[in-house]
A and B are shown apart, each in its own frame.
Chain A
Amino acid sequence: MATLELKNINKPSPRPVVPVNYIPLTGWYYEFFTRVVRSGCVKSTTLRTIAGLDLPTRGQVLIGDRDVTYTPPGDRNLAMVFQSYALYPHMSVRENVAAGLKLRRLPVGEISDRVQSVAVKLDLDPLLDRRPSELSGGQRQRVALARALERRPDVFLLDEPLSNLDALLREQVRGELKQIFADQKAPVVYVTHDQTEAMTLSTKVAVLYDGHLQQLDSPERIYSRPANRFVAGFIGSPQMNLLTLKCQGNSAQLGRVSIKLPNGVSTAAATVSLGLRPEDCVLGYPGSADTEKAVVVSGTVFLSENLGPNLLISLQLDEERTEESVTLRSLVPVGSISVGDKVTLLLPRDRLHWFDAVTGDRIDS
């Protein structure tokens, strides 16, 4: 099993310099999860650098213990699924899938065996003699996938493979992808801006923002312990409540309630960021909860949005001084609440995320 490692990769994109810092990827099924903010080429740049289509100005790309930074793309033994699929329009599906093997001068018999087996696996065998222009979007996507699979590369690179499919098909193919790559022994680097794809497919997610690595972790950790305010706000839908609170000593002020900061959190600054997922807020009534375990707040609902399985309510917390109004969003059962209601919410203390108000970094361990 091969491993892939990026060391201090730095690549200036057309305008800003985009350093992709130290991304050690050793394991077997990986995903890059990138947020493209400015130039649109951050995510592709990383992938293209791994593929050898772009050269980094600094740093190394390692596959296993092989330094491939300056190896031509064809000698790296990688397979890439392009966002556009990059199918050869003048070749049949069969020829498209076989093209890479032909270039590697495999025996004709083995080529047709491999093409046949991958075609059966991806339900492409009735389509083998068609041209790409005669296929639907989902079928083209499968051909691109087949072309990558039959190469049996050391690393798979997938550049937003689902972004050209409609929403329904995307969900179906996402499931298929997961099953297909579960059988593969090679690491997969998957670039997407869709958080659902990142969370469902990966064993590890790298969140990139502005070219910098924000967090490299399992999907569970990314969700439950976001490394900074950006990751916290980016992953999860509906978005996490992110509140800037005043603090005094080792307690922060949320509406009328004073919350004690967790142990070990320094409070030199006058403000602190508090994060709390809407689904972690629980409906309650005054005096209903153990204040040791949960913070109890109350407020008035001013907006309610039906999401189907539940209701997303936005409420204005009761304040000592009205000019410092704080809003909180919470998921509650459908039909339980309507606009204008007075509500009491329980905020479990172990679900609170604390971030530095200035740097945005997580401050509770």
Chain B
Amino acid sequence: MTAKQPQAESSWVQKEWKTAGILVAPAIAILLLVYAYPIGRSFILSLFAENLGTQLQPVFNGLGNYGRLFGDGRFWQSLGNTTVFTVASVAIELGLGLAIALILNRSFRGRGIVRTIAILPWALPTAVMAVGWAWIFNDQFGVVNDLLQRLGIISDGINWLGNPTLAMVSLIVADVWKTTPFVSVILLAGLQSISKDLYEAHAMDGASPWQSFTAITVPLLMPQILIAVLFRFAQSFGIFDLVQVMTGGGPAGSTEMVSIYIYSTVMRYLDFGYGASLIVVTFLLLILAVGLAVYGLRRLGVDVTQ
């Protein structure tokens, strides 16, 4: 009887594993199909030349595509544009989102309505709001120019989307407007999980509100800040719709993002092989950036996996 016990137990464990395997299998199959296959396919495709020159037939090209990529100024410029856009928009969104979250975390009359209104921009389709922002920054009929002229700050309308620097600024403004609510909602959830007692205990110890903010709010909010930054970083780096609608990457490629360049390469120039190598390099760079960020934060004592 006692000798049989472990055997019965091991067969029970085996059965559990079998059931678990059956239940998990569909999810694994879908993940492989949706993630692993496209990634692997892109990587293989990037080793071939497949364009109008080869009459769209795949011809093995080794690392030729990658060699071409290193000398491709347009790619590096789009990568630079994307980095500027990402760093600026994520930084501003984080600061602004934190400020809004702190305000919404206070109790005041009409807080429920304000919270709902604050989330609205995020609920709009990006393409729709991009059309709106393109009009807002329009050089002849735009609201921004009209307001600045009425206030007497400028005399002639500024061609916002026609100037390389101003076009980038316009894009960042539009992106900040749209995605700050996302950041503030995540941070608000984090703020609400911090006990009020901690602030009261800290205040009794003689802490000023600023000291409480740096010593309690920021460290305890770090997991939510990291989630918000990682999400926003990934989304911002792959930005497509906003730019495509507002500037189309112009003027003169000054706002061309990596995603737009890849889209052009594949869909307009029909250069599939080179497009795939662009995707692979961007993919690896993204992983590298996220890895470095996580490593750096670990060194600072922040555990992202928590």
Query: Residues of A with Cβ closer than 8 Å to B?
Result: 51-53, 72-76, 78-80, 82, 84, 86, 88-90, 99-100, 103-104, 147, 151
Most chain B CB inside 10 Å of its own CB: which residue of A51, A73, A151: A73
Q: How far is the CA of A249 from the CA of B198 in the complex (A)?
A: 61
B206: contacting residue among A74, A86, A90, CB under 8 A: A74
Chain-A contact segment, one of B17-25, B95-103, B212-220, B243-251: B212-220
Residues on the B chain within 8 Å of A84, using CB: 195, 197
Decide if A73 touches B220 in the complex (CB within 8 Å): no
Q: Which of A73, A90, A100, A151 contacts B219 (CB 8 A)?
A: A90
A312–B292 Cα gap in the complex (Å)? 72
Query: Roughly how many angstroms separate A84 CA and B207 CA in the complex, as a whole number?
Result: 19
The answer to whether B197 touches A82, judged by C-beta atoms less than 8 angstroms apart, is: yes
Bound-complex Cα distance A364 to B131 (A): 87
Q: Assess whether B195 is in contact with A99, with CB atoms less than 8 Å apart.
A: no
Residues in chain A near residue B219, CB distance under 8 A: 90
- Measured in the bound complex, the distance between the Cα atoms of B197 and A30 in whole Å is 24
Q: A53–B198 contact, CB under 8 A?
A: no
Q: Is the CB of B220 within 8 A of A74?
A: no
Q: In the bound complex, do residue A103 and residue B211 qualify as a contact, i.e. CB atoms below 8 Å apart?
A: yes
Chain A nearest Cβ from B210, distance in angstroms: 12
CB distance from A343 to the nearest CB of B (A): 53
Cβ–Cβ contact B204 & A79, under 8 A: yes
| A82 CA to B201 CA, complexed, in Å | 8
Is B156 in contact with chain A by the CB < 8 A criterion?
A: no
Task: Enumerate B183-224 residues with CB–CB distance to A below 8 Å.
Answer: 195, 197-198, 200-208, 211, 215-216, 219-220
**Of A78, A89, A103, A147, which one neighbours B207 at CB under 8 angstroms?**
A103
Tell me, in angstroms, the Cα distance from A82 to B203 when the chains sit together: 13
Closest 10 CB pairs of A and B: A74-B206, A100-B205, A86-B197, A86-B201, A90-B219, A73-B204, A73-B203, A103-B206, A82-B197, A84-B197
**Chain B residues whose C-beta falls within 8 Å of the C-beta of A79 in the assembled complex:** 204
Residues in chain A near residue B203, CB distance under 8 A: 53, 72-74
- Whether A86 touches B205, Cβ cut-off 8 Å, given contacts A99-B215, A103-B211, is no
A73-B204, A74-B204 in contact; A86/B198 too (CB < 8 A)?
yes
Task: Classify the interface of chain B: helix, strand, loop or mixed.
Answer: helix
Choose among B204, B206, B216 the residue with the greatest number of A CB atoms under 10 Å from its CB. B204
Q: How far is the CA of A103 from the CA of B195 in the complex (A)?
A: 20
* B290 CB to nearest A CB, Å: 24
CB contact under 8 A between A82 and B202, given known A89-B220, A90-B220: no
Which A residues lie within 8 Å of B220 (CB)?
89-90
Nearest residue, chain B, Cβ from A151: B205
Beyond the given pairs A74-B206, A82-B200, A90-B219, 14 more chain A to chain B contacts, judged by CB atoms under 8 angstroms and listed by A's residue number, are A53-B204, A72-B203, A73-B200, A74-B203, A80-B200, A80-B201, A82-B201, A84-B195, A86-B198, A89-B220, A90-B220, A99-B205, A100-B205, A100-B206
| Chain B residues closer than 8 Å to A72, beta-carbon distance | 203
A78 near B204: Cβ-Cβ < 8 Å: yes
**Known contacts A84-B195, A90-B220; is A103 also within 8 Å of B205 by CB?**
yes
The answer to whether A74 and B205 touch across the interface, beta carbons within 8 angstroms, is yes
A-B contact pairs, 6 of them (CB 8 A): A72-B203, A80-B200, A80-B201, A86-B201, A88-B216, A89-B220
Shortest C-beta distance, B237 to chain A (Å), equals: 30
Residue of B nearest to A82 (CB): B197
Q: How far is the CA of A99 from the CA of B211 in the complex (A)?
A: 11
Q: Which residues from chain A contact B204 at a C-beta distance below 8 Å?
A: 51-53, 73-74, 76, 78-80
Q: How far is the CA of A72 from the CA of B204 in the complex (A)?
A: 8
Residues of B within 8 A of A51 (CB): 200, 204
User: B residues within 8 A CB of A90?
Assistant: 219-220
> What is the minimal beta-carbon distance from B254 to any residue of chain A, in angstroms?
43
B195 touches A86 (CB 8 A): yes
How far, in Å, is A317 (CB) from chain B's closest CB?
A: 52
Most A C-beta atoms less than 10 A away, residue of B198, B205, B207, B219: B205
Could you tell me if A104 and B195 are in contact, using CB atoms closer than 8 angstroms?
no
Chain B residues closer than 8 Å to A88, beta-carbon distance? 198, 202, 215-216
Roughly how many angstroms separate A103 CA and B200 CA in the complex, as a whole number? 14
Give, as a whole number of angstroms, the nearest-CB distance from A53 to chain B.
5
A53, B205: Cβ atoms closer than 8 Å = no
Residues of A within 8 A of B195 (CB): 84, 86
Shortest Cβ distance from B9 into chain A, in angstroms?
32
Alpha-carbon distance A80/B199, docked complex (angstroms): 12
- Quote the shortest CB–CB distance from B162 to chain A (angstroms): 49
The minimal Cβ–Cβ distance linking A83 to chain B, given in whole angstroms, is 8
Is A53 a contact partner of B200 (Cβ separation < 8 A)?
yes
Closest to A101 in B: B205
Residues in A whose Cβ lies below 8 Å from that of B200: 51, 53, 73, 80, 82, 86
Partner of A75, one of B197, B206, B211, B215: B206
Query: Please, which residues of chain A bring their CB within 8 A of the CB of B211?
Result: 103
Q: Complex: how many Å from CA A78 to CA B201?
A: 10
Q: How far is the CA of A74 from the CA of B201 in the complex (A)?
A: 9
Residues of A within 8 A of B208 (CB): 74
Cβ of A105 to closest chain B Cβ, rounded Å: 9
B198: chain A residues within 8 A (beta carbon): 86, 88
